[in-house]
Amino acid sequence: MLISCITSCGKCDYCRKAMYSHCRAGGWVLGHTIDGTQAQFVRIPQADSSLYRLPPGVGEDAAVMLSDIFPTALECGVLNGRIQPADQVAIVGAGPIGLAAVLTAQFYSPARIIVADRDANRLRVARELGATDLVDVGTGRAADAIRTLSGGEGVDVAIEAVGIPETFDLCQSVVAPGGRVANVGVHGRPVSLRLETLWAHNVTITTRLVDTACTPMLLKLVASGRLQPARLATHRFRLSDAMRAYDTFGDAARERALKVVLEKD
Amino acid sequence: MLISCITSCGKCDYCRKAMYSHCRAGGWVLGHTIDGTQAQFVRIPQADSSLYRLPPGVGEDAAVMLSDIFPTALECGVLNGRIQPADQVAIVGAGPIGLAAVLTAQFYSPARIIVADRDANRLRVARELGATDLVDVGTGRAADAIRTLSGGEGVDVAIEAVGIPETFDLCQSVVAPGGRVANVGVHGRPVSLRLETLWAHNVTITTRLVDTACTPMLLKLVASGRLQPARLATHRFRLSDAMRAYDTFGDAARERALKVVLEKD
Amino acid sequence: MLISCITSCGKCDYCRKAMYSHCRAGGWVLGHTIDGTQAQFVRIPQADSSLYRLPPGVGEDAAVMLSDIFPTALECGVLNGRIQPADQVAIVGAGPIGLAAVLTAQFYSPARIIVADRDANRLRVARELGATDLVDVGTGRAADAIRTLSGGEGVDVAIEAVGIPETFDLCQSVVAPGGRVANVGVHGRPVSLRLETLWAHNVTITTRLVDTACTPMLLKLVASGRLQPARLATHRFRLSDAMRAYDTFGDAARERALKVVLEKD
Amino acid sequence: MLISCITSCGKCDYCRKAMYSHCRAGGWVLGHTIDGTQAQFVRIPQADSSLYRLPPGVGEDAAVMLSDIFPTALECGVLNGRIQPADQVAIVGAGPIGLAAVLTAQFYSPARIIVADRDANRLRVARELGATDLVDVGTGRAADAIRTLSGGEGVDVAIEAVGIPETFDLCQSVVAPGGRVANVGVHGRPVSLRLETLWAHNVTITTRLVDTACTPMLLKLVASGRLQPARLATHRFRLSDAMRAYDTFGDAARERALKVVLEKD
């Protein structure tokens, strides 16, 4: 059984629009307004409409990835960015969400997937997962590099997968006229939106708390073999070893950790 | 003949996407990179694809309104805002563009059209043209007023038709989860985008330099009697009197001027 | 309380796509697989997700019209037909559903609404409700008449609101290249689809059992005063007089009956 | 230089909607209303908007495939069928167009691509190009086989790539509720449309003469290496040998011919 990170009642006005993130009787509940699910047994609210049976061929490792990060990358990044075949896409941030965006962006056959980050290991993983071009943001010239890679005019879609003003700024700096900036990152501060130039650039900027409306689609893609989400699982620990798992995740760069899976004892 | 404010070649990659504003051999040319059209005779570049024959029943007064302000209000405001029947809409700014948005928003039957401005006369005109609710932004409590009118959660669509940080901020303050902020105003400075709250609100923000791709649609709506754009023409002058026309427009609030039409001598 | 004609569980795959007509635990149940609702008291299955509270200002007369015929006309006809501002629309059949299509088509501001029927009274009502042009199908020259009215090339949208091969044929005969044929009628036999010409005409043909997904939108439009569905109620009877109501409806043409409302004793 | 099979002026109302197939000064002209292009030199009408420069990395073999069959398969089949990730797709007919649909359908990551034909060699090629399941229509049980493969309810998208009543009927027999039938085939006769069941199945049926509006997208996908259209070229002849080329194509099944390329002497 897959436990969605978003709880939905299926009946309220938001649920009727598949905007489960804002469900009147749910939304982002697990790990936010009540405890999360790192336990042997959990009681899930609105279970009838917030759990998904695993189809044959979908293992638990895949399922745990589909609970949150893959719907987030797909909905907030890829779908909101309206990636079309032959598009040029920049993904800023190669953490687990950014890497899940690299994988799910390919559902729509972009011509180019540029990934920008400052961690050489994560950039290497991005390449393995399908990125066509890598940009080191540590150089301070990432915007120029992305523009040059895209042929000068900028990218069709820029996905912000970090959550700080600098990375949002990079996205708005490299989007082509007519393009989309899809924000995925969780932000703690306002950002400066360059309307003095963007007002005339026909761009679209989107935000979204994941709705997990695409979970059934993702389950089918895993079952058919077109998506291997477990590729992002780098470490595994027993539940009784949870503190070590947190330490590993807390030092992710040095441990080369992407997603850490906890298993029942 | 209607002269579009946007020049398009019909052949380049942007024109093929109906994004004429960025035409490789045109775009915003008239009154920008060459002189405008306040003259007895003008030579229009890319004339084959930048002029429109007037259908029977469309007068020159209507046509001049369809050259720029109505496509701008419709494309940048109403279409980018994806107004749907029963939506609640806030239009911030009741100048000619904002008022044209009031008229064209009604093509999609919103349940409520709230107009915010500080000019009592313009608010009165907005009401005549179809606004259901008026908000005086001079009170400093416009955001609260709009939220209350919308039932508490905010509006589905907020149209920014002024071009300063304060009015953009009003728009982002009143948009409901899942809503759209459609920027129409020409901005001279960056604005502060409140991503620290909006990241989770599933909103869409759009910008656009008018493409005038909807000019044929507007011409048909005028010909069928469903749109009377000349209602925005408050003053008329002969071309030889152009300086007086500019003076009138320069003191628009006191003159209660919306659009000033220049006629051939 | 509004009882939707379609029962939906809100949880199954079809409900998640707002295709309630095919709900795994509901769909078209009332009056089809169980008895309907002409009673003092009824028990509604899946009530949590199949009933709608009436907002202030929406009377019971309006609500009963929104249970079935208005969602049907809007979803199967207007929305499936993708009516856009300035479109030319032909509605074939001026029964209650066709007339509800006349009213709801106007949500999208078509330039022309041509209504075709053989009943002079219904055509007269269509005109009152917003039809711009009337065609008597009894003449046998309806296709020519519609083509001429549309300027020669045919209409953008043809709505079939009868359910027999002749009226479907009329629709496919008058649709312009790029246009849509939206079937609303309940058919009992196959129809002949003229693919030998239509294959190259870029047309779209749609069918749909009403999902009543637009019921919330319709309720808001009634509450805001933009829709008066009760205009289709021509007769009223007490429940104890139901047989007379059926007689009236059974002789609808002579009685000039559109919708007959039953009231509690 | 790529010569599009469709001639477009870029200025008329149809061209403005990217519906070049119906261009007022073009459309399907080459090989239809004037001679085609099997010659050393040809004069192309409306050349400014009907020719495409080849980007680096796109050879002439690829270009000739992009002139007609790939835009046809993509626009009339894949795009009109609105294939989404995880969809189940049936492609009826494994001629060059059907096979091009197999390749271009993968731009949108369907979970299953079922190809139906009666020619064992073509089915084998379909498998090589990405079909997941093959159905021999010679058995007379193709509909049952496709339904079973799709899990019982039918496919999301059925693409008709033959052009006879039997294959259209197969498509309408296997489409699931909510699904799309995209007609690609050139038909010479009407077909029987089973509205007596389909009226309630929420299906969409589309037709289209190729517009070649997606040619720029296809060129980019070839340049980026994501599409190898020349895989469909099975035979090559010099122009002086054109009659032999026609003989080969005329006996395509025995010659295992898909597309035959003519080269300059």
Is the confidence metric ipTM above 0.95 for this complex? yes
Pairing outcome for strands C204-206 and D112-117: unpaired
pLDDT of residue D140 exceeding 90:
no
State whether B189 and B236 are in the same domain.
no
| Other chains touching A, judged by 3 or more CB pairs under 8 Å | B, C, D
Of D206, D223, D245, at which residue does a domain stop?
D206
What pLDDT digit, counting tens, does each position of C174-216 carry? 999 999 999 999 999 999 999 999 999 999 999 999 999 999 9
Domain count, chain B: 2
Q: Verify whether the Cβ–Cβ distance B16 to D213 is below 8 Å.
A: yes
Facing residue for D183 by CB, picked from C177, C189, C199: C199
Q: Which domain holds residue C62?
A: 1-78+212-226
The band of A146, judged by pLDDT with boundaries at 50, 70 and 90, is: very high
Helix, strand, or coil here: A234? strand
Q: What is the pLDDT of residue A209?
A: 98
What CATH number does the domain containing A31 carry?
3.90.180.10
Q: What is the pLDDT of residue A3?
A: 96
The mean pLDDT value for D5-28 works out to 97
For residue D76, tell me if it sits in a domain: no
Give the minimum alpha-carbon distance from D136 to chain A in angstroms, rounded to a whole number: 22
Contact B181, B160 (CB under 8 A): yes
Q: What is the pLDDT of residue B243?
A: 93
Q: What is the pLDDT of residue C96?
A: 96
What pLDDT digit, counting tens, does each position of B112-164 carry? 999 999 999 999 999 999 999 999 998 889 999 999 999 999 999 999 999 99
Q: What is the pLDDT of residue A140?
A: 86
DSSP string for D1-49: -EE-SSB--S-SHHHHTT-GGG-TT-BS-BTTTB--S-SSS---TTHHH
Question: Which tokens go with B226?
Answer: 């469903």
Q: Cα–Cα distance between C221 and C226 in angstroms, integer? A: 5
For residue D75, tell me if it sits in a domain: no
The mean pLDDT value for B66-80 works out to 98
Mean pLDDT of chain C: 96
Helix (H) or strand (E) holding B96: helix B96-105
What pLDDT digit, counting tens, does each position of B26-70 carry? 999 999 999 999 999 999 999 999 999 999 989 999 999 999 999
Pairing outcome for strands A155-160 and A175-183: parallel
Helix, strand, or coil here: D158? strand
Residues of A in contact with D220 (CB under 8 A): 86, 111
- Other beta carbons within 10 angstroms of residue A169's beta carbon come to 17
Contact C79, C238 (CB under 8 A): no
Give the minimum alpha-carbon distance from D109 to chain A in angstroms, rounded to a whole number: 5
Q: Verify whether the Cβ–Cβ distance A18 to C16 is below 8 Å.
A: yes
Q: Which residues contact B73 (CB under 8 A, 6 or more apart)?
A: B97, B98, B99, B100, B101, B103, B104, B161, B184
The band of D41, judged by pLDDT with boundaries at 50, 70 and 90, is: very high
Helix, strand, or coil here: A261? strand
Q: Verify whether the Cβ–Cβ distance B108 to C111 is below 8 Å.
A: no
Residue D234: exposure state from Cβ atoms within 10 A (0-12, 13-18, ≥19): middle
State whether A28 and A138 are in the same domain.
no
Q: What is the pLDDT of residue C234?
A: 94
What pLDDT digit, counting tens, does each position of C143-170 carry? 999 999 999 999 999 999 999 999 999 9
Closest residue in D to B12 (Cα) is D49
What pLDDT digit, counting tens, does each position of C5-58 carry? 999 999 999 999 999 999 999 999 999 999 999 999 999 999 999 999 999 989
Closest residue in B to A17 (Cα) is B178
How far CA C37 is from CA of B22, C245, C263, D231, in Å, comes to: 58, 15, 12, 61
The band of C265, judged by pLDDT with boundaries at 50, 70 and 90, is: confident
pLDDT of residue D81 exceeding 90:
yes
Give the minimum alpha-carbon distance from A131 to chain D in angstroms, rounded to a whole number: 13
DSSP state at residue C233: E
* Overall size of chain D counted in residues: 265
CA distance from start to end of chain A: 18
Q: Verify whether the Cβ–Cβ distance D18 to B15 is below 8 Å.
A: no
Q: Verify whether the Cβ–Cβ distance A108 to D85 is below 8 Å.
A: yes
Give the minimum alpha-carbon distance from D91 to chain A in angstroms, rounded to a whole number: 18
Q: What is the pLDDT of residue C82?
A: 98
Facing residue for B111 by CB, picked from C112, C132, C224: C224
Give the minimum alpha-carbon distance from A80 to chain B in angstroms, rounded to a whole number: 9
DSSP state at residue B75: I
Q: How many CA atoms lie within 13 Å of B238's alpha carbon, on the beta-carbon side?
A: 3
Query: Considering only CB atoms, which residues of chain C are within 8 Å of chain D?
Result: 14, 17, 19, 21-22, 28, 163, 168, 177-178, 183, 185-196, 198-209, 211
State whether A184 and A131 are in the same domain.
yes
Residue D45 φ then ψ, to 5°: -70, 155
For residue B168, tell me if it sits in a domain: yes
Facing residue for B226 by CB, picked from C111, C216, C221: C111
The mean pLDDT value for D242-265 works out to 92
What pLDDT digit, counting tens, does each position of C69-127 carry? 999 999 999 999 999 999 999 999 999 999 999 999 999 999 999 999 999 999 999 99
For residue D57, tell me if it sits in a domain: yes
Residues of B in contact with C226 (CB under 8 A): 85-86, 109, 111
Query: Considering only CB atoms, which residues of chain A are within 8 Å of chain B?
Result: 14, 17, 19, 21-22, 28, 163, 168, 177-178, 183, 185-196, 198-209, 211
Q: Cα–Cα distance between B184 and B72 in angstroms, integer? A: 7
How far CA D182 is from CA of A165, B218, D103, D166, in Å, comes to: 45, 32, 16, 15
State whether B126 and B199 are in the same domain.
yes
For residue B9, tell me if it sits in a domain: yes
Among candidate residues A49, A122, A107, A120, the one with its CA nearest the CA of residue A77: A107
Contact D107, D78 (CB under 8 A): yes
State whether B89 and B196 are in the same domain.
yes
Facing residue for B11 by CB, picked from D10, D16, D18: D10
The mean pLDDT value for A151-162 works out to 97
The band of A52, judged by pLDDT with boundaries at 50, 70 and 90, is: very high
pLDDT of residue A128 exceeding 90:
yes
For residue B246, tell me if it sits in a domain: yes
State whether A147 and A183 are in the same domain.
yes
Q: What is the 3-state secondary structure (H, E, C) of D35-48?
A: CCCCCCCCCCCCHH
Mean pLDDT of chain A: 96
Facing residue for D195 by CB, picked from C28, C178, C190: C190
The mean pLDDT value for D155-175 works out to 98
Of D158, D178, D206, at which residue does a domain stop?
D206
For residue B75, tell me if it sits in a domain: no
What CATH number does the domain containing B159 carry?
3.40.50.720
State whether B17 and B124 are in the same domain.
no
Among candidate residues A220, C23, C15, the one with its CA nearest the CA of residue D84: A220
The mean pLDDT value for A232-245 works out to 94
Residue of C224, C227, C228 for testing the chain B interface, max B β-carbons within 10 Å? C224
The mean pLDDT value for A86-94 works out to 98
Query: Considering only CB atoms, which residues of chain D are within 8 Å of chain C?
Result: 14, 17, 19, 21-22, 28, 163, 168, 177-178, 183, 185-196, 198-209, 211
State whether B54 and B16 are in the same domain.
yes
Q: Verify whether the Cβ–Cβ distance C84 to B221 is below 8 Å.
A: no
Facing residue for D109 by CB, picked from A86, A223, A226: A226
pLDDT of residue A143 exceeding 90:
yes
Q: What is the pLDDT of residue A265?
A: 80
How far CA B189 is from CA of A179, B77, B164, B185, in Å, comes to: 21, 20, 8, 11
How far CA D160 is from CA of B96, C197, D77, D120, D175, in Å, comes to: 51, 16, 8, 18, 11
Residue of C78, C226, C228 for testing the chain B interface, max B β-carbons within 10 Å? C226
Q: Cα–Cα distance between D49 and D9 in angstroms, integer? A: 6
Express as a percent the part of chain C with pLDDT over 70: 100
Residues of B in contact with D16 (CB under 8 A): 10, 18, 213, 216
Closest residue in D to A220 (Cα) is D86
Question: Which tokens go with D80?
Answer: 């009109």
What are the start-end ranges of the H helices in C11-158? 13-16, 47-50, 60-66, 69-71, 96-105, 120-129, 142-149
Q: Cα–Cα distance between B167 and B161 in angstroms, integer? A: 8
What pLDDT digit, counting tens, does each position of D104-115 carry? 999 999 999 999
For residue B173, tell me if it sits in a domain: yes
Residue of D132, D156, D215, D220 for testing the chain A interface, max A β-carbons within 10 Å? D220
Q: Verify whether the Cβ–Cβ distance B10 to D15 is below 8 Å.
A: yes
What pLDDT digit, counting tens, does each position of B199-250 carry? 999 999 999 999 999 999 999 999 999 999 999 999 999 999 999 999 999 9
Give the minimum alpha-carbon distance from D45 to chain B in angstroms, rounded to a whole number: 14
The mean pLDDT value for D70-92 works out to 98
Q: Verify whether the Cβ–Cβ distance C109 to B226 is below 8 Å.
A: yes
pLDDT of residue C140 exceeding 90:
no
* Overall size of chain B counted in residues: 265
Q: Which residues contact B178 (CB under 8 A, 6 or more apart)?
A: A14, A17, A19, A22, B156, B201, B202, B203
Q: What is the pLDDT of residue B265?
A: 80
Q: Which residues contact C243 (CB under 8 A, 6 or more apart)?
A: none
DSSP state at residue D196: H
What pLDDT digit, counting tens, does each position of D167-194 carry? 999 999 999 999 999 999 999 999 999 9
What pLDDT digit, counting tens, does each position of B178-197 carry? 999 999 999 999 999 999 99
Of B160, B175, B206, at which residue does a domain stop?
B206
pLDDT of residue C264 exceeding 90:
no
Q: Verify whether the Cβ–Cβ distance D220 to A109 is below 8 Å.
A: no
Closest residue in B to D48 (Cα) is B11
Dihedral angle computed from the Cα positions of residues A97, A98, A99 and A102, in that order, rounded to the nearest 10 degrees = 120
Q: Cα–Cα distance between B20 and B171 in angstroms, integer? A: 27
Question: Which tokens go with C15?
Answer: 């409900």
State whether A133 and A247 are in the same domain.
no
The band of D265, judged by pLDDT with boundaries at 50, 70 and 90, is: confident
Q: Cα–Cα distance between D5 and C260 in angstroms, integer? A: 57
Q: Cα–Cα distance between C35 and A176 in angstroms, integer? A: 58
Helix (H) or strand (E) holding D76: none
DSSP string for A156-201: EEEEE-S-SHHHHHHHHHHEEEEEEEEE-SPPSS-EEE-HHHHTTS
State whether D111 and D225 are in the same domain.
no
State whether C25 and C111 are in the same domain.
no
Q: Cα–Cα distance between D228 and D212 in angstroms, integer? A: 18
State whether D202 and D85 are in the same domain.
yes
Facing residue for C201 by CB, picked from D188, D198, D207: D207
Question: Which tokens go with A257?
Answer: 């950790």
pLDDT of residue B264 exceeding 90:
no
* Residues forming beta bridges with residue B233, ordered by sequence position: B259
Give the minimum alpha-carbon distance from A54 to chain C in angstroms, rounded to a whole number: 14
Pairing outcome for strands A175-183 and A204-206: parallel
